[in-house]
Structure 1
Amino acid sequence: MTTILVTGGTGTLGRLVCERLREDGHTVRVLSRHTQPYAVDLRKGGTVLDSAVLGADAIVHCASSPRGGDERAAERLITAARRAGVPHLLYISIVGVDVVPMGYYRAKLAVERLVRESGLGWTILRATQFHDLVDQVLTGLAKPPVLLLPAGADDQPIAVAEVAARLAELAAGAPAGRVADMGGPEVRSLRSLAAAHLSATGKRRPVVGVPLFGATYRAFRDGGHLTPGQAVGRGTFEDFLKERYPAPR
């Protein structure tokens, strides 16, 4: 039986990865800051981290934070994995980390480099943004009386469960290097996503596109975070909204 460690195993993605791996018959170790017996802050490491990786056949590294610390966490995880002789490290990254010059994307790209140079067998999967994140962002933007959006920008959101299923599949296999990206089924304008979200949540807001400035905005506007050639996702944003915001009976 295969033992697989999932970092960030209680998060939006990691929780579903754990569920899928258990369904497939694997022994799963959940590593997060508050979950016993492997409660670890990866930015600090420690003896619990060493025990978490010991005997693991693979590690699925989902733990990440836009508030910083991803590189330090990856370095400690990789060091512990090397000591334990873990044969496979799988990392989930984001489409466009090599194109969009945003701080969080740059950190993800730096972790990709650490994984590639780790000396471990490795796999890297990049995916577009999850429906959950688009929902969270639009919920925040809809709080004022006017919903302001970056003008001319698109997105390609994907169902988190589909990415979790792919990670579980990859974790059970041999190291595969950089595998094909995963994108949602549709490239959509932010305006159309906002309209769908307003309809699902029963809100009425005028939607106004606002031109922004800077390299990050240009990269998003130019589609650096999209992968239309890998639109392999099936669940649409409307499918997600129907589940998240069911119509009252």
Structure 2
Amino acid sequence: MTTPILVTGGTGTLGGHVVPLLRAAGHEVRILTRHARPRADGVSYVTGDLLKGEGVEAAVAGTETVLHLAGGPKGDDEATRTLVRAASKAGVRHLVHISVVGADRVPLAWMRAKLEAERAIADSGIPWTILRAAQFHDLALTMVKKMSGLPVLPVPGGLRLQPVDSAEVAARLAELALGAPSGPVPDMTGPRLYDMAALARPYLTLRGKRRPALPVRIPGEPGRAYRAGANLTLEGAQVGKRTWEEFLAERLGAVRLPVD
């Protein structure tokens, strides 16, 4: 009998796609979660909190593979260090982590935390795999919804995104988790590049809205990094197939959307 695969963040957007894939491959799954849940269909839950250090050792006990998907606006570095310490003590043989494209190039605090999380894993002595991904369609939709609620649409000059489908990233992560440790693997991005106006346009069309665009400038070093494309991977990435327009059409119930 194989040992369970531990998934942190298993109840989130990405985890919701990954866990069924691991189950379909015949693996028991254990999820570290802040809220107690009953066991169901080969999935068990351990209550704990990475930031508080609660329940982590119990979660990793008896596992050989850990898929670290949990993340937030801050504290990812400390949470990952907590996980690494417990995983090392438990004899984990493969630690798989999802990070973000540009973690080492965009000078923002949350990006630095992502990079420090990567370093904690790489320096852990545990065999590891790290996949950096672009922004998920789900996150892009949240951002566009908020910005489209304003009287004008802010368009940060030089900011471009490569939104990728979370289900496709999940499929890649499941593949990596079931394979051998690979270190840093090619980044994963979406199939098209958008500035903010192009990203918002199909959403506004589906909602029957119009918003005048207001060019804005991202100040300082972050602005220079974004204008230089530091958050992008234009060569050598694994590219997803599902476009932003296809995602919107399905999520918002449209039949089709025009593509610029």
Give the TM-score of the pair, scaled to structure 1.
0.95
Q: Aligned partner of 2:25: which letter?
A: D
Aligned match of 2:215:
209
CA distance in 1, matches of 2:5, 2:208: 42
CA distance in 1, matches of 2:3, 2:131: 21
- Within the alignment, does 1:19 sit opposite 2:16 as a pair? no
The residue correspondences of 1:59-70 to structure 2 (distance < 5 A) are: 59-66=66-73, 68-70=74-76
- Within the alignment, does 1:99 sit opposite 2:69 as a pair? no
SS in 1 for 2:168: helix
CA distance in 2, matches of 1:81, 1:16: 23
The CA deviation at 1:200 is 2.2
- Within the alignment, does 1:58 sit opposite 2:59 as a pair? no
The CA deviation at 1:2 is 4.8
Structure 1 unaligned spans of 5+: none
Q: Which moved more, 1:100-109 or 1:49-58?
A: 49-58
Q: Determine what percentage of the aligned residue pairs are the same residue.
A: 49
- The CA deviation string for residues 23-77 of structure 1, in whole angstroms up to 9 with x for no partner, is 221111111211444111101223x3222111112111011111x2212211111
Cα gap change, 1:35/1:159 in structure 2, threshold over 3 Å: closer, same or farther? farther
Contact kept in structure 1, 2:10 and 2:69, CA below 8 Å: yes
The CA deviation at 1:175 is 0.8
The CA deviation at 1:6 is 0.6
The CA deviation at 1:208 is 2.0
Q: Aligned partner of 2:246: which letter?
A: D
Dislocated runs of 4+, deviation >4 Å: none
The CA deviation at 1:231 is 5.3
Contact kept in structure 2, 1:93 and 1:125, CA below 8 Å: yes
Aligned match of 1:5:
6
CA distance in 1, matches of 2:71, 2:87: 18
Aligned match of 1:115:
121
CA distance in 1, matches of 2:3, 2:178: 8
Q: Aligned partner of 1:23: which letter?
A: A
- The CA deviation string for residues 73-124 of structure 1, in whole angstroms up to 9 with x for no partner, is 1111111111110101011000101100011111000000000000101111
Aligned match of 2:170:
164
Aligned match of 1:177:
183
Give the aligned CA root-mean-square deviation in angstroms.
1.4
The CA deviation at 1:144 is 1.5
Cα gap change, 1:201/1:23 in structure 2, threshold over 3 Å: closer, same or farther? farther
| 1:225 equivalent among 202, 225, 231 | 231
Q: Aligned partner of 1:148: which letter?
A: P
Give the TM-score of the pair, scaled to structure 2.
0.91
SS in 1 for 2:198: helix
Contact kept in structure 2, 1:185 and 1:231, CA below 8 Å: no
Contact kept in structure 1, 2:127 and 2:181, CA below 8 Å: yes
Aligned residues: 246
Aligned match of 2:248:
241
Contact kept in structure 1, 2:94 and 2:127, CA below 8 Å: yes
SS in 1 for 2:209: coil
Aligned match of 2:158:
152
The CA deviation at 1:202 is 2.3
Contact kept in structure 2, 1:152 and 1:209, CA below 8 Å: no
Contact kept in structure 1, 2:186 and 2:238, CA below 8 Å: no
CA distance in 1, matches of 2:129, 2:65: 10
- Within the alignment, does 1:45 sit opposite 2:46 as a pair? no
Structure 2 unaligned spans of 5+: 38-44, 256-260
Cα gap change, 1:233/1:35 in structure 2, threshold over 3 Å: closer, same or farther? farther
